[in-house]
Structure 1
Amino acid sequence: MARRTSRKPTRRRAASSRPQPLRWLRRWLFRLILLSAGIILFATGIYTIVNPITGIYMKSEELRLGSIDQEWVDFDAIAPVMARSVVAAEDANFCTHWGFDMAAIRTAIEAGGNRGASTLTQQVVKNTYLWHGRTWTRKALEALMTPVVELVWSKQRILEVYLNMAEFDEGVFGVDAAAHHYFGIGPDQLSDRQAALLAAVLPSPKQRSASRPNEFVRRRANAIMDGAATIRADGRAACFED
């Protein structure tokens, strides 16, 4: 009878049975990227049809102050000049960029970082999903989410969320609360001057007042009124106006 001889495992087979940490790491990193992308897409997609209730900063202010003033109002119930005013004040190229204003970024770099270059979309991402502060983690998340919001939301939706989430005074969030707080009227009744004054308190609402404007706020409001009229005339408001 033929004698069976046992074969020694080849070097190749032995090598394949060894743990391969790099392959394991790549696999889990890929899964993490897919999970993160899914979460970001879900978080941005849900707010195309559901209005955000609050944000991290808004919630922290509510806990600090005990209560805040905020009431959601649809875009159609806001005076059109209010939307043009915040665009003129904060992001004049809103209709032409994809979330990042590269011209403004270059200008900010040339100015030594003494002026901001955040677009309205970046501010919406910060106010809705993230926290305030200049940490690298927040900036990285903002950079990831901003183009997704631009892709999934319409420009009008971005402005609608911004106008309802922005802070206009301590504990006063959104244009509805701001219009009543400063002028005793609804957001649909805002005049050109009142809209410009509200936009002029941004982005330092705790240091500026729309109802008791100092010289700086008055000058800024005048410039915003001119800017709002200009972007309406030259078509830079077309992406969010019917």
Structure 2
Amino acid sequence: MMNNINERMSCINNNHSLRIAIFDDNKNIRNTMVMTLNSEIMFNVVGVYNNSKNSIKNLVNIKTDLVIIDIASSGFSGIETIEQLKNELPCVQILVQTSFEEDALIYQSILAGASGYILKSDVKLTLVKAVKELRNGGSPMSPPIARKVINMIKHNMGHFNAIKKSTDYKLTGREKEVLACIVKGKNYKMTSYELNISYETVRSHVKHIYEKLHVASLTELVAKSINFNIV
């Protein structure tokens, strides 16, 4: 687990342009996303596909950093596509953008490896912001999706009540401050600014927090922190 966490954290690289691939079966939406993303100097759209069939090998060859996927447009199950992407490209960030708000799809997408979930109705206004947030270590979600995730967490809190008081994760004071910022939805850059520490220091603290809490994703980190009242 610890080696996997270190590998995931080392995948983040803000020094080169972000290589982005898009899966969407709607040509107009694909074109809009390409134009929007290519307007940013640090974004580079390297692949555009109308489904995921036979496309994942291409993404491995072109070393894609981020995949934007509509889970309804895949040649096979969108959730399976996310899982396959994470298996083939463990470091890839996956942003789901879709019209679906069903709790089960949101939950399954996150468990499969999605790092963010935004609605198509918001895509023109929020796409660039969401991609930047992912690049900086955040986990973007449209407000209705964030509310659903919070409700899912609340629903499951009772399951952990019996054991959460007995666990000591041995977080330092500074690690708890960093974790509190992350739980509030702040990305690494915002956390760095608020706590008056460097971006690299934030990354180092988050790596240690991942190890101490035995988690492997930002979503899992936030869920566990809330469920166990860690901060």
TM > 0.5: no
Structure with the bigger percentage of strand: 2
Which structure would you say has the larger RCO, counting Cα contacts within 8 Å and 6 or more residues apart? Answer: 1
* TM-score relative to the length of structure 2: 0.29
